[in-house]
Amino acid sequence: MPVFYIHHRTHYQYTDWVVDSANQIKLYPLHDQHQRVIEHRLEISHQPEVFELPDYFENTSGFFSIIKPHQALSIESFIRVEMLAPFLPPQQPAVEVWKQLANEEIKTDFHDYLRAEATHYQKDIESVSVINKQFHPLDELLRLSDYIYTTFEYKKGVTTIETDIDELWKLRAGVCQDFAHLLLYMMRLQDIPCRYVSGYICPGSSEWRGEGATHAWVEAWLPDIGWIGIDPTNKCMAGERHVRLAVGRSFTDCTPVKGTYKGSLEHLLEVSVQFSALPFTEEELKLKPFTPEQQMRFNKGVFETYDAYLQRQQQQQ
């Protein structure tokens, strides 16, 4: 049962004074039978009071405001979490599970996780995501995950946060949130409840795409198993290295940091994630200077949202 220390820092530097900064954060790791949060604390510059509330999807959301003028904002999350191997109960016969998934009561209970978006390529995608109901749904979902892994290139710089299914289908390339997006769509076409997961892949003995940074994968709900995580970026089931922060219908329900403020439009934004099997040293936690590339963007007045920054970071992985 591995224990991970995670330090997630979001740091804004503004060109001028800003005021009335109102923020929402979803940096609270989920605590359940798969991951046990031993410790979690937030350190936010200017020490605002943070109000914590559950959202519609049962994630913990934090809200805070900084009214006074300021030129920088730092949000740091410190996590110590023990990861437990997922427990898979005995599978029921495939025909029985598919029958339960077709139940109208389940469709009503999970309606938020069943609605597939409108696309031009629906028929093409349906043709390659045909489900064989002689096999258990989990086996078929892993097959779809394998299809994405082998058919789509893990390629940086070709997609954005706004890339939709049609564009992704044409590109045949993307990064973790794109692959999660596509697998969700395929599942929903088959009336399987599923949700987007944001979190981290912690480094381990084998190298995975997206490890050592924020990551995205999916969870499917099956009547005989419950929620089960599948990572199409790495062609595997989510396990002891997948630390979950939030779940929702899509990325927009799980954004780690979002907010508004009054003042200078231009700012520098740095997001870093550190991992360790031991407590961090003071030297490791020091704020690193902005890179020359970041400083150049800042000097040119390039505005960048948190979502856009995360996208750019994933393209560099």
Indicate whether 40 pLDDT > 80: yes
CB 230 within 8 A of CB 142: yes
**pLDDT digits over 86-106, tens only?**
888 889 999 999 999 999 999
Output the pTM of the full model: 0.89
Tell me the C-alpha to C-alpha distance, in Å, between residue 186 and each of 51, 220, 229: 37, 11, 15
317 vs 74, more confident: 74
Q: Given the structure tokens 């028929």, which residue do they identify?
A: 123
What is the DSSP-derived secondary structure letter of residue 116? P
Q: What local confidence, expressed as pLDDT, does residue 209 receive?
A: 82
Instruction: Name the token pair of 143.
Output: 């097959």
Q: What local confidence, expressed as pLDDT, does residue 307 receive?
A: 54
Indicate whether 295 pLDDT > 70: no
Indicate whether 302 pLDDT > 80: no
% of the chain at pLDDT higher than 90: 72
CB neighbour burial string for 101-133, b if at least 16 within 10 angstroms, e if fewer: beeeebeeebeebbebeebeebeebeeebebeb
Helices 94-101 + 137-151 axis angle, to 10: 80
The helix or strand, by DSSP H or E, that contains position 83, with its residue range, turns out to be strand 70-83
Q: What local confidence, expressed as pLDDT, does residue 298 receive?
A: 56
Mean pLDDT across the stretch 285-295? 69
Q: What local confidence, expressed as pLDDT, does residue 317 receive?
A: 38
Tell me the C-alpha to C-alpha distance, in Å, between residue 255 and each of 116, 174, 191: 20, 19, 25
Q: What local confidence, expressed as pLDDT, does residue 296 receive?
A: 60
**pLDDT digits over 118-140, tens only?**
999 999 999 998 889 999 999 99
Least trusted range by pLDDT, from 16-20, 82-86, 201-205: 201-205
Domains and CATH numbers, the chain: 3-83+255-315 (2.60.40.2250), 94-253 (3.10.620.30)
Indicate whether 311 pLDDT > 80: no
